[in-house]
Structure 1
């Protein structure tokens, strides 16, 4: 199921309301996290492309989904309470301030008579054409345990093509949050719209996506903000800033959220994070010609503002891939014959940096008993992950340049390209020109409790 009784969007207005295309269907969705788009189960799963902009006929930006799932408990058209779905993007959209889900104590802001904003790419009248984003301000009518009736009648309301789209509510701090997922329509275009309550979908979305989409709360609703509990969309209704070519620069966003308690940065953070490599352990592999292993890392900032990035040094050289979501891991790293020292590096939101104790691997070589050299590398061996630098995938949002080819191995975030990286390690022990390619795979993640 744009919006009956609404208005066309300005360029870059409601930028987190996106079109979800694929499987012979057009729906609307919401960017609730830089890597998660939420929409309706009745739109179907499978392969989806996310379209940004105001007109799907010529979307200025697109993003490919690496995983899309529909709620397996959804029972059909009359089951608005479970009409949830999501797509996890292959690359984070970091240029836009997101509109997260109303959660925890914040749910009290959703009540009959409250003003909501609805927006979508559907038709605006019976027999009309879909594909252009419209919006309108409209009242909340009735709030149930699992759904909410919004708009319709003499007020703006949803139409076919708006399915899965957001119902937003504005917080006292000016930020907009999504509370509804457009599910069904009573009557014709512009009739009463029933929306699934988005906060009920959150535990399932987090479990299946492996991504924490509620950075201000624990999954049980307890206020526990991280550094990502800040910078949410605060634009004026229907008013856009900037152009899509540069991802709408200047789009308004708020500061640190305090809706249910103190902000994440209410107290100074002067303690660096802790970090350790848990896999692999230091070991010798004298009979192996190569070793393929994941690299798993734990990092924690205690009572600080939170860990923002974990990276890796190999033989003193910083590798270009960065993991910004726990659990931190680099998958299927292939080390050829040689000796390697691995050090994990963690940075917190206050800019404090820590390094782990080193892990040393000797593969197909024996450390010199006379010199004590434990990092000498046999010459002539070129490490590789076994994947091409132009096709390696990663969950990090930053484009990196292959040190092996000198070419950029991915496209800009959100443009539908794959991540890729090549990285160069200069080993100690006299050998030079050894290149190591790391692939950060989409490991299943589990959010904080």
Structure 2
């Protein structure tokens, strides 16, 4: 199961409407979405063109996703375990990437806020954002997405998948990535499972908090740490965006 942005070819890959995205390899398919109704899929048009990205509802009107996933999103889909059909669609009124999002190849500040035209009614519980930096590397975190099930010839997962990953220190991540990882990120080991193209923008949940946003990785589940935007570092900016709506 992979939901990460892959870039800096040939080391990374990027396949989400011209932007990087990742999907989850390995992991568990979820038949029951009730615990994760806040995880949404994107559509790029009313005709149902599927965008290989996802996001997380943080309240009834706002979605957090990756900056590279934000262009062209017209609708979000809530409560569906099908890539295109089922669930409820909500119009996106505004899509705002972080003003310092750099795009490929660095993917600095890879985060965005989507504002919907109306409140989502199906979801009543939303993950909280962290109030402190993640510094406990002995915990297990969860990542969710509908990306490719393998790379490069895998198929898109029809059902939401989840897998457990282990966060690692920035020092270890810099070593594994040869210092190519931007600041304000969190890295997590994969051990044969992890994000893959199509999972970008999805949530990394640690201690039941929206700790990270799938950004990029090395395809897929190969042991190289996946990289997530650190939500804590962007709390003030997120507050400013959702406070204006």
Range class of TM-score, shorter chain: 0.7 to 0.9
Q: Report if the CA contact (8 A) 2:76-2:92 is conserved.
A: yes
2:186 and 2:74 map into 1 onto residues whose CA distance is 27
Instruction: Give, in angstroms, the shift of residue 48 of structure 1.
Output: 2.4
2:97 and 2:43 map into 1 onto residues whose CA distance is 14
Deviation per residue, 1:392-448 (Å, 9 max, x gap): xxxxxxxxxxxxxxxxxxxxxxxxxxxxxxxxxxxxxxxxxxxxxxxxxxxx45xxx
Q: Report if the CA contact (8 A) 1:48-1:65 is conserved.
A: yes
TM norm structure 2 = 0.74
2:202 and 2:39 map into 1 onto residues whose CA distance is 7
TM norm structure 1 = 0.42
Which SS does the other structure have where 1:19 is aligned? Answer: strand
Residue matched to 1:183: 215
Aligned length: 202
2:162 aligned with 1:128: no
2:42 aligned with 1:20: yes
Residue matched to 2:128: 100
Deviation per residue, 1:135-188 (Å, 9 max, x gap): 11121123475111113233x210000001110012xxxxx21111111112x2
2:239 aligned with 1:206: yes
Higher helix share: 2
Change (3 A) 1:46 1:58: closer
Equivalent positions of 1:419-430 (< 5 A) are none
Picking from 197, 204, 214, the partner of 1:167 is 204
Equivalent positions of 1:28-177 (< 5 A) are 28-52=54-78, 53-96=80-123, 97-103=125-131, 105=132, 107-108=133-134, 110-126=135-151, 127-132=153-158, 133-143=160-170, 146-154=184-192, 156-170=193-207, 176-177=208-209
Which SS does the other structure have where 2:190 is aligned? Answer: coil
Instruction: Give, in angstroms, the shift of residue 115 of structure 1.
Output: 0.6
Which SS does the other structure have where 1:10 is aligned? Answer: coil
1:55 and 1:9 map into 2 onto residues whose CA distance is 12
2:105 and 2:210 map into 1 onto residues whose CA distance is 22
Deviation per residue, 1:185-236 (Å, 9 max, x gap): 12x22242100101222222222332xxxxxxxxxxxxxxxxxxxxxxxxxx
Instruction: Give, in angstroms, the shift of residue 10 of structure 1.
Output: 2.1
Change (3 A) 1:22 1:151: farther
Structure 2 unmatched runs, 5+: 1-21, 172-182
Instruction: Give, in angstroms, the shift of residue 47 of structure 1.
Output: 4.1
Deviation per residue, 1:265-322 (Å, 9 max, x gap): xxxxxxxxxxxxxxxxxxxxxxxxxxxxxxxxxxxxxxxxxxxxxxxxxxxxxxxxxx
Which SS does the other structure have where 2:227 is aligned? Answer: strand
Q: Report if the CA contact (8 A) 2:42-2:77 is conserved.
A: yes
Equivalent positions of 1:225-236 (< 5 A) are none
Instruction: Give, in angstroms, the shift of residue 57 of structure 1.
Output: 2.6
Structure 1 unmatched runs, 5+: 171-175, 211-443
Q: Which has the larger radius of gyration?
A: 1
Instruction: Give, in angstroms, the shift of residue 117 of structure 1.
Output: 0.2
Change (3 A) 1:167 1:152: same
1:119 and 1:151 map into 2 onto residues whose CA distance is 15
Q: Report if the CA contact (8 A) 1:46-1:69 is conserved.
A: no
- With CA pairs under 8 Å and 6+ residues apart, which has the higher RCO, 1 or 2? 2
Change (3 A) 1:202 1:22: farther
User: RMSD in angstroms over aligned alpha carbons?
Assistant: 2.1
1:181 and 1:8 map into 2 onto residues whose CA distance is 20
Equivalent positions of 1:293-372 (< 5 A) are none
